[in-house]
Amino acid sequence: MDFGIRVGAVLRRGDSILLVRHEKPGAAPYHVLPGGRLEPGETIPECAERELLEEANLTAEFSEILHVSEFMAEGRHTVDITVAMDISDGEEASLGHDPEVPEGEAPTLADVEWVAVEDVESMDFRPSWIGEAISSEPSGGVYLGGGRH
């Protein structure tokens, strides 16, 4: 079974949140929080900081854990940890890269964009329950559940 822990970072700027758009051949684009798999020996804050730098060329500081959820499908179990991060005023996000994409393959990261929080629920956001949670008021330490798919 493929088991992993994914750390997703919530960065807010006014009424907007930073999202990463993914595009895969033969599939509709979708959005996720910047983030990725926790590496062995890496702390949750370190993972969030590294992933933001890789995907959005941003440096940020860990603030708090917001939500924990799980995704289970045949052969796969992922624990999602959603964290709040603080960025410095004036820092701008720009499309980075995914170091896990093999050389010569098309990247799935297509864009980083600030999206109005009120628009997140109407987007193809994955996993959807995290999109719903970040669209509401922050409420740290919430286990969102998840489920089998």
Contact (CB, 8 A) for 35 and 59 = no
> How far is Cα 107 from Cα 92, in angstroms, rounded to an integer?
21
Q: Which of 71, 83, 74 is nearest to 12 (CA)?
A: 83
Q: Which of 62, 80, 64 is nearest to 72 (CA)?
A: 80
φ/ψ of residue 128, rounded to 5: -60, -35
Q: What pLDDT, on a 0 to 100 scale, did the predictor assign at position 135? A: 74
- The number of distinct structural domains making up the chain is 1
Instruction: Give a yes or no: residue 149 inside a domain.
Output: no
Instruction: Give a yes or no: residue 113 inside a domain.
Output: yes
Instruction: Give a yes or no: residue 35 inside a domain.
Output: yes
With bands split at pLDDT 50, 70 and 90, how would you rate the model's confidence at 137? low
> How far is Cα 68 from Cα 92, in angstroms, rounded to an integer?
27
pTM of the model: 0.87
Lowest-pLDDT range of 9-13, 56-60, 140-144, 145-149:
145-149
Those residues with Cβ within 8 angstroms of residue 73's Cβ, 6 or more apart along the chain or in another chain: 148, 149
Query: Is the model's pLDDT at 148 over the cut of 80?
Result: no
Contact (CB, 8 A) for 98 and 108 = yes
Domain of residue 32, CATH code: 3.90.79.10
With bands split at pLDDT 50, 70 and 90, how would you rate the model's confidence at 140? low
Instruction: Give a yes or no: residue 40 inside a domain.
Output: yes
Q: What pLDDT, on a 0 to 100 scale, did the predictor assign at position 89? A: 76
Residue 93: CA count within 13 A, CB half-sphere: 24
Average pLDDT over residues 1-6: 94
Q: 95-128 pLDDT, tens per residue? A: 998 877 777 777 789 999 999 999 988 899 888 8
Q: 13-72 pLDDT, tens per residue? A: 999 999 999 998 888 999 999 999 999 999 999 999 999 999 999 999 999 999 898 988
Is the model more confident about 139 or about 34? 34
Instruction: Give a yes or no: residue 77 inside a domain.
Output: yes
Instruction: Give a yes or no: residue 92 inside a domain.
Output: yes
Contact (CB, 8 A) for 87 and 70 = no
Q: What pLDDT, on a 0 to 100 scale, did the predictor assign at position 25? A: 85
> How far is Cα 124 from Cα 128, in angstroms, rounded to an integer?
8
Alpha-helix residue ranges (DSSP H) falling in 17-138 = 44-56, 128-135
Instruction: Give a yes or no: residue 17 inside a domain.
Output: yes
The parent domain of residue 95 ranges over 2-139
Instruction: Give a yes or no: residue 103 inside a domain.
Output: yes
